[in-house]
């Protein structure tokens, strides 16, 4: 029983430490942590374009949900817990998609994607 309590305590302490440290990191660096390197290396240009479009659409949905959640009481907490992790992961995936598109010299950005997303991975915060 004592051994289980210590293991649980150490696990919880480690998890809290990771959360505190990740608060100091930028979303972009954390996003790269969630995505395996070279995930899109085997994709062709048309597959990259499809993945980029799906990624941008989901990022937009999450931005709307985070804005909606942020307007209510406790909304920032709900937004951070419910939507922010997926949003950060999508940002990391977009970085990998851009990298793969550049390496293949293809235009991975379908028409209709805002120009700021074409040139930068900065998004509305």
Q: What is the pLDDT of residue 73?
A: 78
Q: pLDDT at position 55, please?
A: 95
Instruction: Write out pLDDT tens, residues 1-35.
Output: 455 555 665 654 555 444 544 554 445 555 555 67
Instruction: Give the predicted TM-score (pTM) of the model.
Output: 0.63
Query: Measuring CA to CA, which residue among 88, 97, 95 is closest to residue 41?
Result: 97
pLDDT at residue 123 above 80? no
> What's the rounded Cα separation, in Å, for the pair 6 and 21?
22
Read off the pLDDT of residues 40-99 as tens digits, 9 standing for 90 and up.
Answer: 989 999 999 999 999 999 999 999 999 988 887 788 888 888 899 999 999 999 999 989
Whether 103 contacts 48, CB under 8 Å = no
């Amino acid at each position: 029983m004592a051994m289980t309590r210590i293991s649980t305590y150490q696990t919880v302490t480690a998890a809290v430490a990771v959360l505190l440290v990740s608060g100091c990191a930028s979303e972009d660096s954390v996003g790269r942590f969630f995505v395996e390197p070279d995930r899109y290396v085997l994709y062709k240009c048309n597959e990259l374009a499809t993945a980029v479009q799906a990624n941008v659409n989901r990022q937009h949905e999450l931005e709307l949900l985070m804005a909606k959640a942020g307007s209510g009481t406790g909304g920032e907490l709900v937004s951070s817990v419910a939507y922010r992790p997926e949003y950060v992961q999508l940002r990391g995936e977009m970085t990998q998609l851009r990298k793969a598109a550049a390496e293949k010299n293809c235009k991975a950005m379908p028409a209709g994607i805002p120009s700021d997303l074409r040139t930068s991975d900065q998004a509305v915060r």
